Amino acid sequence: MLLFAGLGNPGAKYRNNRHNVGFMAADAIARRHSFSPWSKKFQAEIAEGRIGGEKVLLLKPQTFMNLSGQSVGEALRFYKLEPSAVTVFYDEIELPAGKVRVKTGGSAAGHNGVRSLDQHLGKDYRRVRIGVDHPGAKEMVHSHVLGDFSTSDREWLDVLLDAIADNADMVAKGDDNGFMNKVTLTLRDKLQPTGDDDRPPPKERALKEPNAKGQSHIRQARPQQPSIKVPETGPMAAMLKKLLGKD
């Protein structure tokens, strides 16, 4: 059994905060893989399901970010799991917006939720760090992470969350490099302009294929969205350059 935990703060006030991108990832995984309805246990909202043949417990601590470790630790002890069975999804200001990096162990790097997890689990658990960018000054970090994603952010964020959910089987199998590569390629393919290609952008093509392989009935039922138009210059173009490592 594996435990996937998304970090965030409970309540409508925080729902769209950058700090809650871990909750958003957990919700996307639950939808994509048809998990059970959310219920309450371990001071958290939990859902159960299977990913890539593995039984997975999804968990969203309701203790507020700074005490996340209490909830995850309680679930870990109940199921008698080792920290290596835990994967945590959370926001990372030291990564460009939309970039995802996976590692096991390491420092909390100022993240209070991770610091709490370290206190209750030790450090030998996997971390899926989801980039939300740095505001540029230390004194701005608090308001940045507790601020909502902007409307323009949703263009890449929705694609990113779908990519995380679609490739969660790689996380379950421990294929960290494969997972990171898939997420990065998905963002590149679905957000970059198509140039002279007169075909619809990849995202639009996928939406027009009702029986697209690998899509759940929930995703197939989503209304079609207009294709994403990414400018050659401006904030979105700059984000893609950082994400893909281009000069």
Catalytic residues: 19
SS3 string, 28-78, reads: HHHHHCCCCCCEEECCEEEEEEEECCEEEEEEEECCCHHHHHHHHHHHHHH
**Three-state DSSP string of 153-193:** HHHHHHHHHHHHHHCHHHHHHCCHHHHHHHHHHHHHHHHCC
d(CA 33, CA 9): 23
Amino acid at 2: L
The whole-angstrom separation of Cα 81 and Cα 176 is 20
The 10 Å Cβ neighbour count of residue 104 is 14
Sole residue written with tokens 């779908």: 162
Tokens in use for 222?
A: 């989503």
Residue in 61, 77, 63, 53 with CA at minimum distance from that of residue 4 = 61
| Nearest of 125, 199, 114, 128 to residue 163 by alpha carbon | 128
- H helix or E strand, kind and range, residue 146: none
